[in-house]
Structure 1
């Protein structure tokens, strides 16, 4: 803030002009202020073909995570995996789904489908007639 010079008066602020339709001197408009529409247009669920991973060690977990983070569903086949490793991979997968807002569902014995938020996985049998 500038220091006042002796013998002069401090500068005065210009009076505020009223916004159109608002009370004089307040600078506030009467009525609602229009807001811009959403910046992102939402569409229906994205459909994607699942990527299948059959891990052999916990070192295969990044493939599951990276594929899921890219927005693609992942089928995790744990049928030939020992019990302790299976538990670790299930814990990893469920934490991944929880953290990113996805879903994890069991589709067969020791086979899981990880579905990212907003994605509807394609199923090859979807177009097949039900008998």
Structure 2
């Protein structure tokens, strides 16, 4: 197919004869093979089931408003560490969500830690945070410029 024809097909001016981008093996709709419908929230991401079996799950939540605090609380209550990214929120709502998260972590004996500007990590009581920096770094290392 020529470049003009491809551009015309991309713009929808002509029918595309190139069907390699379409996968006809899957049925139309949002049903999985088991008949379940997929209900996903684009603001909540959790790793695969294999990680769940090993207890290595972390949820990343980017709330739009205070109404999304419930999903944060439900994930944390289930023992999943939660990373809250509040950068897309209004400052007043972000403060309310941080206050909610602080109460949530206090009530469930977890901890809250600021990772970056308006990004927080909520960890359950049985989770240990390990810092990436060495505590006993030698002063006479490679980067010592004395």
TM-score of Structure 1 vs Structure 2, range by shorter chain: 0.5 to 0.7
State the TM-score, normalized to the length of structure 1.
Answer: 0.55
**Structure of greater Rg:** 1
Distance 1:71 1:47 in 2: 9
Please identify which structure carries the higher strand content: 1
Matched residue SS, 1:120: coil
Are the aligned partners of 2:81 and 2:121 in contact in 1 as well (CA < 8 Å)? yes
Gaps spanning 5+ residues in structure 1: where? Answer: 1-45, 126-131
Deviation at 1:58, TM superposition (A): 1.1
Cα 1:56/1:113, change in 2 over 3 Å? same
Answer yes or no: is 1:101 the counterpart of 2:109. Answer: yes
For residue 12 of structure 1, what is the aligned residue in structure 2?
Answer: none
Are the aligned partners of 1:49 and 1:73 in contact in 2 as well (CA < 8 Å)? yes
Deviation at 1:122, TM superposition (A): 8.9
RMSD (Å), alpha carbons? 2.6
Query: Once superposed, which parts of structure 1, at least 4 consecutive aligned residues long, lie more than 3 Å away?
Result: 120-123
Please identify which structure carries the higher helix content: 2
Deviation at 1:105, TM superposition (A): 0.1
Answer yes or no: is 1:53 the counterpart of 2:52. Answer: no
Aligned residues: 81
State the TM-score, normalized to the length of structure 2.
Answer: 0.50
